[in-house]
Structure 1
């Protein structure tokens, strides 16, 4: 029996499989964060267990891949840089060639990249380890960042003018479920099976994402045909040009910078949080530290859908962006200068991150035309990843380059937190500017779709050329 695409629940079926696209890739993304000790561990401990990793209880030696802190952070930086370069082209190609092209290509790249990354771990102690693992992260980053653009584009189409923030929140929740399960399960899995099989397990989860991509493609194609929109959208896609970037409004660019500065304080912190907790706070082993670091994503998993419903109802996306940045300032101050239990800070950061993600990213479809949404998402992701990549490099420099330092000095960690604070202040500046510009152009970001009349625009293909929430001022500012 074919489910009619006109029925309300059809879009939620699409949403479910769309959410599953990035579940496995988000699990894979932060595996190095959980196993940072193993990635930076010694090649051997007393010459035992050459193919596994273990902690020598008498000496505190951790057997692993022998990376330096700088090389470890480079794994995250190369992921971010690849996103920055690829997602612009990916967004444009998605707008030109359609969602289904992007689903197959980019989900395949996540599988290929995670496979090469896992393969590289078998070459520890050789010159091939770092090049293979960096190549794997490069391909993985090419696929995962671009796959998120397709995911957001599909969500924006099926939920525009409806439960948009809720849909984005649920998408984030599923992605973060992968991250949360990584922080809870990866350490235990590695203890039993070693780092190589742990990385291959992440690859298997990426295969699950590829299967979801196939399902979403079928559902999206069927739904488009039933709604009679497949041909119209293809015609609009043919009109998309690189020059359309010049039509993106000022508030779009301010929104992009706000996203970049906020994420500069979240992702680089989570990447090093497990080791930071072990180094600064007494009594935390690696597994406990991983749980606490993962609390950022735990909060996001629990809150994202609820926050999405709230934002759909009250709007105020621009104001929430400012509040998220302001309320994040105390997090890094506590971590830098106090010994307040780290769980307080990671849970706090998780709450502000949930509100930021559910208010900032769904704001992009509100200020750009639907036909260029992929390009706009690609540019936003590119700028975000350039910032994160530079932040990872800077953090790697701050923390040092010697793997022999089993415990990084506290003053280095303080410098890292001050750098996180600086990014948060940058986010406050750009988000305030965003609200000022948005107010002059109609205040779109601080409106709510629930207050609009429920009538659809003149036609669906006209909606493809205009933002989701629009008025005469908004159209004149974009076109």
Structure 2
């Protein structure tokens, strides 16, 4: 369900060189700080560093705001209805985004607004659909959830990996428009998957002759019943995930400017941060046998700090090694995050409580766009 949505979400990053650059350094409103010089881009949408980061911010702000009400809405509607609704809106958003991105170059203000609206609609699938996936796992695999969660996370990260590995190549070989519209096709498959999930859940309920549904009415008492240790976990998640979005959003252009890689190579290296998630099921099996998830998540979070420092200040270390190591640490923390949620949160209020968890996570992550924007603009002019 989320493969296509994540593919479209990360498409501007995979094609960052084409999206940011302009054929003329003064073409984007005459503001040289909002563009980079033409370094061989073919399409050259001309968004510039500021509008590029704002494009991501619109999605992340919407995700943060939606986390609380949509989590509660999922509990009220149930998994099947929520899946269809929340998969259809990103499909519409992907259509708007694709239509605006390929309509005119450089992008006009009107088309940029349509592009932002499309990104806002993508937010309904980028986070809420993950709630639905986690809620299905909590209902059906509550005792042995690590392995199912690893496949869920793999499907989420698979969209990122796919767009980083194929978007730049498709844009180079078949054209920029084909690369953009391919994500829309994948979002359409997400709608089909959501319908299939809803029908499957309904069939299972009918076969079991059960009147019990997955529709719950969460109350304040249900939230108060959640163990206090879970709220400590929420604080950890909020502080931990601040660096991930700026890492993915700005890394391709950083590699191009700092290391001299081509746009395609930079996209490949960024996508390698997702490769460790292919081994997610093996990591899940290992975690299930160690019985010390908290210690391993803490170690993984601590390792991320020197990895980012090496990426920023030690060009002698190849960035491919650092991005793969970063992805492995991220895989462990992501599995730990969902496993703790499944173990501690009652399934009756899973959507609402995970909405609170994601609100803290997204609220922390969106604050890093200002630093990402300043960094992107600064390195373009100073090389430092």
TM-score, normalisation: structure 1: 0.73
Q: Distance in 2 between matches of 1:66 and 1:242?
A: 48
Are 1:348 and 2:325 matched, yes or no? yes
- Residue equivalent to 2:240: 262
Match of 2:71 in 1: 91
Pairs within 5 Å for 1:76-475 = 76-121=56-101, 122-123=103-104, 124-162=106-144, 164-231=145-212, 233-234=214-215, 237-238=216-217, 240-242=218-220, 244-282=222-260, 284-300=261-277, 302-339=278-315, 340-400=317-377, 407=380, 409-411=382-384
Q: Residues of 2 paired with 1:269 and 1:116: CA distance?
A: 26
1:348 CA drift (Å): 0.6
**Structure 2 residues without counterparts, runs of 5 or longer:** 28-37
**Could you say if the C-alpha distance between residues 229 and 331 of structure 1 is closer, same or farther in structure 2, counting changes exceeding 3 Å?**
farther
Query: Within 1, Cα distance between the matches of 2:299 and 2:9?
Result: 28
SS in structure 2 at match of 1:30: helix
Distance 1:243 1:74, change over 3 A: farther
In structure 2, the CA distance between the partners of 1:224 and 1:277, relative to structure 1 (3 Å rule), is same
Corresponding pairs, count: 370
- Sort the Cα spacing of 1:353 and 1:343 in 2 relative to 1 into closer, same or farther, 3 A: same
Q: What TM-score do the two structures reach when normalised by structure 2?
A: 0.90
> RMSD in angstroms over aligned alpha carbons?
2.2
The Cα shift of 1:317 comes to 1.8
8 Å Cα contact 1:78-1:389 kept in structure 2: no
Distance 1:107 1:295, change over 3 A: same
Structure 1 pair 169–230 and aligned structure 2 pair: CA distance change class (3 A)? farther
- Using CA pairs under 8 Å that are at least 6 residues apart, name the structure with larger relative contact order, 1 or 2: 2
Shift of 1:392: 2.0
Displacement of 1:368: 1.8
Structure 1 unmatched ranges of 5 or more = 1-20, 48-58, 412-479
Deviation at 1:363, TM superposition (A): 0.7
Deviations 1:260-316 (A, max 9, x none): 22222222101111111111113x11111111111110122x221111111222221
**Distance of 1:228 and 1:87 partners within structure 2:** 33
SS in 2 for 1:400: helix
**Cα deviation code 1:29-71 (max 9, x no counterpart):** 11111111111111569x9xxxxxxxxxxx7342411112121
